[in-house]
Amino acid sequence: SKDTIQCTYKREVKEQAPTPHSHVEFVPFKKIYNDALDAVGHTPMIRLNKIPKEFGLKCEVLVKCEFLNVGGSLKDRIGVRMVLDAEKQGRLGPGKSLVEATSGNTGVGLALACAVRGYPLVITMPEKMSQEKQDVLTGLGAKVIRTPTEAAWYEPESLIQVAKKMAADDPNVILLDQYSNPSNPLAHYEGTAEEILWACDDKLDAVVISTGTGGTITGVGRKIHERVPTCKVIAVDPYGSDLAMPQEINQTDIKTYKVEGIGYDFIPKVLDRTEIDGWVKTLDLDSLLMARKLLSQEGLLCGGSSGATVWGALQWAKAQNFTENQRIVIILPDNIRNYITKHLSKTWMIENKFISYDELKEPEHPLA
Ligand code: PMP
């Protein structure tokens, strides 16, 4: 879209300070996993063959398929990691339960961990998030409390304040708090980033990631900048969110958007914007049409934020004149099964004015 602003300001390159992270041995995959939690991660890297060509791009475009995680998203990594780290730190154990504010996917990751490790879990989630997410959470044994989508993060009825109050009222209820928990970026620093570097043999020119809590881009960005300092780390942020820099590029009349899991009206503690080399702002229309295209043309069953990230990545690569011998990696965060009644549904796309009825008339099936 013409009014999408791209910003590629120069990141301040820091002195190579020793990172606060531990360095664990990286194992790309195992023959047999001990339980469902052990199988989180180890997601495939797949080449896009048609869509970049259609956009006139000659560079290699790879997608890291986080939507193929055990619970269906990249947030499985942090759900499991936050629970296991809290156990190690002695914060979590028998008699404790958990509460967390989430747009849904962290909830599923936590619910997976809680199902296997045996903790009761309450999830606070805005009304805008899909019923599919609620059903999966409930199936995994969590209790879901819906909060008003329009409530600002500091208002008492917002998902964040409802979760904070539950934890403040009962010492046995633990809020792991993905927005400030160092285990969030660490899961990506030690997991996602290592897998990307392993798959690419440390050869990549850009990595493009959408931002919610910012845990993914902070962890992946930090490790990749350490190992491949020339690689650009590009963030995707929807219009209606205030995460992008500089602040002027966030200006818009758009208040809410349909794409789930990305964008905030506050800067989460775990988001280190100094790891980001550039930002691309995105609109629902481009994002959701791209998500549908990834499904129908590349066979990738991914969600709306994946569409946003691919759309942003292609725009950015084009503006940078990326050529044949350059490689870009895009993270696809979650699975289309979260959106069966949303952008996968033609009726929903028409009702929300993302496509007209006429545009939806598909070419006749060859076997019709
Ligand atoms: N896409 C989706 C669908 C998500 O649920 C999330 C997590 N909120 C993200 C992208 C962004 O991940 P992060 O919180 O690590 O920035």
Q: What is the ipTM of this complex?
A: 0.99
Q: Which atom of ligand 1 is nearest to the CA of 212?
A: 16
Please tell me if the CB atom of residue 282 comes closer than 6 angstroms to any atom of ligand 1. no
Pairing of strands 121-126, 97-101: parallel
Residue type, 234: I
In 3D space, the residue among 282, 254, 250 whose CA is nearest the CA of residue 266 turns out to be 250
If you measure from the C-alpha of residue 359 to the centroid of ligand 1, how many angstroms do you get, rounded to a whole number?
Answer: 30
Taking the C-alpha atoms of residue 148 and residue 143, their distance in angstroms, rounded to an integer, is: 17
Cβ atoms of 219 and 209 within 8 Å: the answer is no
- Residue 3: the pLDDT is 42
Q: Three-state SS for 135?
A: helix
Low-confidence ranges of the chain (pLDDT < 70): 1-24, 360-362
Give residue 367 CA to ligand 1 midpoint distance, Å: 39
Is the Cβ–Cβ distance between 290 and 311 less than 8 Å?
Answer: yes
**Amino acid in the structure at residue 252:** T
Any atom of ligand 1 within 6 Å of the Cβ of 338: no
Give the E-state strand segments of 30-105 in sequence order. Answer: 45-47, 60-65, 97-101
At residue 18, the pLDDT reads 53
pTM of the model: 0.93
Closest ligand 1 atom to Cα of 102:
8
Q: Whose CA is nearest to atom 4 of ligand 1?
A: 261
Q: Evaluate: CB of 218 within 6 angstroms of ligand 1.
A: no
| Shortest-distance atom of ligand 1 to CA 260 | 3
- For residue 262 and ligand 1, the question of a CB distance below 6 A is answered with yes
Residue 360: predicted pLDDT: 67
Predicted pLDDT at 20: 56
